[in-house]
Structure 1
Amino acid sequence: MRKRATAKQVAEAAGVSKWTVIRAFTPGASITEESKRKVLEMAAALNYTPNLLARSLATNSTRQVAVFVDDFANPQKLPFLETLTEQLQAAGLVAMLININNHFDHVNALLHADQRQVDAIILFGTAFRDETLTDLQLGHGMPQMFVLARDSQIDGVPAVVCDAELALRDIVRHLHERGYRRPGFMSGAAALSTALRRRQHYVEFWAEHGIQNISLLSADRYSADAGAASVRAYLASTPADERVDVLMCENDILALGAMDEIRGNFGLKIPEDIAIVGFDNYELGGSYGYGLTTYEQPREEMVRAVVGMIKGTVEPETVTLPGRLVVRSST
């Protein structure tokens, strides 16, 4: 194999400066088409590709973005991650995926990201204590942080979220118009600083319709098994004439597990005995076997906003975007 050329060698061969070579390989950099063409042709002839590590030392930017994720059991994470990595790569950035778990918590993750000098950190649906920032004492040089798909209650950390208030108002209005009067709500894994606020708005909007008694269920994580276990415990302990007539689950994965349990082990009909609502519009929920009524988050727009903040083309501030109600046979 031929030895890889340097930027200086390409510059000399193309008759341009070294900085012109660097600009030719920098997305969005100011350079004439003729200069870029000459540089790229000579780079191909000399087997040159830019050394990103060396460039990061010169520009003080690694173009890496750390993405923290803590609930991989939720398959709805995958479409978001696909969109996020696609848009980051289109912007010349690369995602560093960090799994938050019992053995590698936020403290370890923050230190890991800081040591690798990432340009930004995205808290993707993770529960995060703002006291952690103080405890770490990483200083003012710490990468900018953003919260994606949950509210941020951390000072100075903007969030990009689906408008939970609008979403739950639309959902409750739909359910009330369909005649449901004994609502329930199933929460997922408890969140700390980055809450969803879906249960809060669900309770508030039912109260506006004069209904104060909301049955509250909980699951220990976002998974179909957890949704099934939660509704199983509820149905087993609640007389048939006292059960809810509609159950909203905090996301679609919980809802799908609940639906399988309701029909499979208890022989109940959906929506005749219990109607079900989810959140996220996960693809499987739209299949004939489920027909799940849900709420779709504006995934593309949410990711575009957070990537714009990282690039500096969008003001870094909390952004709340509207989604849409998707009505199917489960209600």
Structure 2
Amino acid sequence: MRKRDTVRRTTAKEVAAAAGVSKWTVIRAFTPGSSITEESKRRVMEAAAALNYSPNLLARSLATNSTRQVAVFVDDFRNPQKLPFLETLTERLQAAGLVVMLININNHFDHVHALLHADQRQVDAVILFGTAFRDETLADRKLGHGMPPMFVLARDSQIEGVPAVVCDAELALREIVDHLHEKGYRRPGFMSGATALSTALRRRQHFTDFWAEKGVDKIELLSAEKYSAEAGATSVHEYLSRTAPAERVDVLMCENDILALGAMDEIRGKFGLRVPEDIAIVGFDNYELGGSSAYSLTTYEQPRFEMVEAIIGMIVGTTEAETVTLPGKMIIRNST
């Protein structure tokens, strides 16, 4: 088979010759903020357009010590609530001139391997998004100093020196408990998801604390193995099957909307109970499906856009790299 022909890229030197300027003038013309006269820039851009030239960003990164690449680690792709966040995050990163490297954390590619991979790619930053990241991971002997800066999005950071951008869980759960107490509920339950992530979200602890302030010390705790509708359905099925009707909770707070939707389907479909008359349901995150007439789920909306903008500001250096906590918004619907 005949070897496929390749097209040679136009070089900065060739553009410089065509424009009658130096190679460094061409480089400055394509570097934002560089000192160059308007006339020189015009000549360079005309020559570049005629020769179909575009700058080599990989070569430029060697000179600037910045690849403009950001790695995003995700380990729960099956959770559909991740998609709106990922859409906003990737859109805003790209608008800031950054390239997104999405890394799937799984059984074959853990956090240590992902960090080493990202470091070898010389990314400018790593965003830990919904990942079960632990302190001991950073203590791994394979990881040394000089790793790219890390940031945690949408959960508390458990790692010293790694800032997080989070929705104010304390404020959110206070508003939720106040609403439920005002509606007359007195036998609350809480369904948590994956253990490592649940601890970092701190929603269960705040839920328990605020009910205790109102004189309600007994909280029925349910646990789902992962954040999925199936796991939510399984957890509430086990609870209802072993609990007499008179002893059941009158309101169930689920750690996120996906768990809540699965729980609602099981409560109404398999047990024939009514929501909210028999058991009220609350979620968290304001997943789009939860707002449909089929569910009309009461929930809490995280300030997604503001959270993403805050973390990008830290990465590009326009704001100080420190943990930021932002308020969200209570969404009251028919499920309570």
Shorter chain as normaliser: what TM range? Answer: over 0.9
1:141 aligns to 2:153 (yes or no): no
Counterpart of 1:284 in structure 2 is: 289
Q: Judging changes above 3 Å, is the alpha-carbon distance between structure 1 residues 259 and 32 closer, same or farther for their aligned structure 2 residues? A: farther
Deviation digits for residues 54-74 of structure 1, max 9, x if unmatched? 112222211111111011111
Question: For 1:79-118, what aligned pairs fall within 5 Å after superposition?
Answer: 79-118=84-123
Once the two structures are superposed, residues 270-329 of structure 1 have per-residue CA deviations (whole angstroms, 9 ceiling, x without a partner) of 000000000000001000100000000000010011111110111000000000000000
Once the two structures are superposed, what CA deviation does each residue of 1:111-156 show, in whole Å capped at 9, x if it has no partner?
Answer: 1111111111110011111121121353321100000000002111
Across the two proteins, how many residue pairs are aligned to each other?
331
Task: Tell me how far 1:266 sits from its aligned partner.
Answer: 0.5
Over aligned residue pairs, what C-alpha RMSD do you find? 1.8
* Residue pairs, 1:205-220, within 5 angstroms: 205-220=210-225
Question: SS of 2:252's equivalent?
Answer: strand
1:260 matched to 2:245? The reply is no
Shift of 1:269: 0.4
Instruction: Tell me the distance in 1 between the aligned counterparts of 2:128 and 2:199.
Output: 9
Give the secondary structure class of the aligned counterpart of 1:191. Answer: helix
Give the secondary structure class of the aligned counterpart of 1:266.
coil
Query: Gapped runs of 5+ residues in structure 2?
Result: 1-5
Q: Secondary structure at the match of 1:135?
A: coil
Contact kept? 2:29, 2:36, Cα under 8 Å: yes
Q: Secondary structure at the match of 1:136?
A: coil
Q: Normalised by the size of structure 1, how large is the TM-score? A: 0.95
Distance 2:31 2:206 in 1: 45
- Summarize the Cα distance change of 1:265–1:127 in structure 2 as closer, same or farther, 3 Å threshold: same
Is 1:245–2:250 an aligned residue pair? yes
User: What is the distance in 1 between the residues matched to 2:18 and 2:282?
Assistant: 64
Tell whether 2:227 aligns with 1:232.
Answer: no
User: CA–CA distance in 1 between the matches of 2:38 and 2:271?
Assistant: 68
Counterpart residue type for residue 107 of structure 1: V
Q: Which of 147-156 and 50-59 deviates more?
A: 50-59
Between Structure 1 and Structure 2, whose CA radius of gyration is higher?
2
Which residue type is aligned with residue 21 of structure 1?
V
Identity of aligned residues (%): 81
1:66 counterpart = 2:66: no
Structure 1 residue aligned with 2:3: none
Aligned partners of 1:68 and 1:98 also within 8 Å: yes
